[in-house]
Chain A
């Protein structure tokens, strides 16, 4: 092979690689366009508008609930001054509210952060490994309860026994509210015990492997003080009644 032929060969190989890259990019570029072609965009724009409108209303309602609760607590404190019986009941009620998750809790604990990978999966990757699934959140909450967390929240939502964590396609819903990544799971409890037990758990190690391999965010920090917000759902039961 002469020198010139060699150079020509190298150039051809170079062109080949470039064309392949270009083709790949084209494919990636077209994929979302093709997918969105059979989703009626106008309809989705409308749905997203409705969704955001409802979220604004719910946020306002949440603020209103907190305001009303503060007002009620104030009235109760005033009432408690009038009689010992009322004072005893008010104290009992306030302690029950805290135990049942209807007041903010501040204390030492841990913060676990999960977020989707910033890397775009290539065509040969399974995109499932690049995103955080609702199941991860359920498992993390379960782990935190297992190792003694006394109060847990995901982003701004308090997690009680009856808090559903489900998904609608790629959207995670906690307490019927849409969550956006990063998912920050805050737990009040013994920071050393929680952090050591969670990091040694198989499930957490799997998440760490996904982090190293696919670039998802998965971090756990001990904190001297974390605050978990109060739950807003305190409606009396509709179906269940006390056994007589």
Chain B
């Protein structure tokens, strides 16, 4: 009887030992797999990788455009080294471009207008969250917006956008709902960018914020 108990105990110890060994064997393997997956992106959804590649290709086009612009400027400068009038012209042109970019000059062009309305009726009124508005703006920039204004207030580099109670602060200015977002740029691309299934318009719809997208030409942004 006692012998049988000892042999039971022995077999349990052996099983225990085997399992521990196996577990110990798996642990570092698991950690390595997770680490490698994070690093190499090989296990991503191919759709996401294609999106990244498209963005990188777009970036490549932008950067090579900027390189061409700069090369031209350098060439013009070298050619115009004795020609003060030509230098002045070139400098003035670049100053004008920068002033447009910084929001110092009023712009006009084709674009889209997105009108956002909260639902005030019903048991639970809906409220536009900061994060959703920031996502919408980011999607507009990503799909080629060149200038954006919120209820006529142009977005600049240092302007933050956030809710302050029922108001919306845009930089140092205050506005409120409904929010009319005007964006100058490729209207086709911007509309598509917002309407991606599962994108920002679907999200707003889910939060019961009505969003109407219209193509408008011309749109003016001061």
Q: Which A positions have Cβ atoms within 8 angstroms of B?
A: 4, 8, 11, 14-15, 18-19, 21-22, 25-26, 28-29, 32, 35-36, 39-41, 43-45, 47-48, 50-51, 54-55, 57-58, 61-62, 64-65, 68-69, 71-72, 75-76, 78-79, 82-83, 85-86, 89-90, 92-93, 96-97, 99-102, 116, 120, 134-135, 138-139, 142-143, 145-146, 149-150, 160-166, 168-171, 173, 175-178, 232-243
Contacts and interface: CB of A to CB of B under 8 A. Distances in A.
Contacts of A242: 96, 100, 105-108
Given A26-B26, A44-B46, A178-B56, 11 more contacts: A15-B15, A47-B46, A68-B70, A68-B71, A78-B81, A86-B84, A139-B130, A139-B134, A161-B156, A169-B45, A242-B96
A35 B33 CA distance: 13
Given A171-B41, A240-B146, A61 B26 contact: no
The 9 A-B residue pairs whose C-beta atoms are closest, nearest first, are A169-B48, A164-B142, A146-B160, A168-B51, A145-B160, A68-B70, A176-B59, A61-B63, A54-B56
A37 to B, nearest CB: 11
A22 B16 CA distance: 12
Contacts, number: 271
A61 B157 contact: no
B22 A22 contact: yes
B27 to A, nearest CB: 7
Interface stretch (B85-93, B119-127, B173-181, B205-213): B85-93
Contact of A86 (B27, B87, B101, B159): B87
B192 interface: no
Contacts of B64: 61
B57 interface: yes
A90 B91 contact: yes
B108 A241 contact: yes
A177 B57 CA distance: 10
Given A58-B56, A161-B155, A176 B220 contact: no
Chain B contact residues: helix, strand, loop or mixed: helix
Given A22-B23, A29-B30, A142-B162, A85 B88 contact: yes
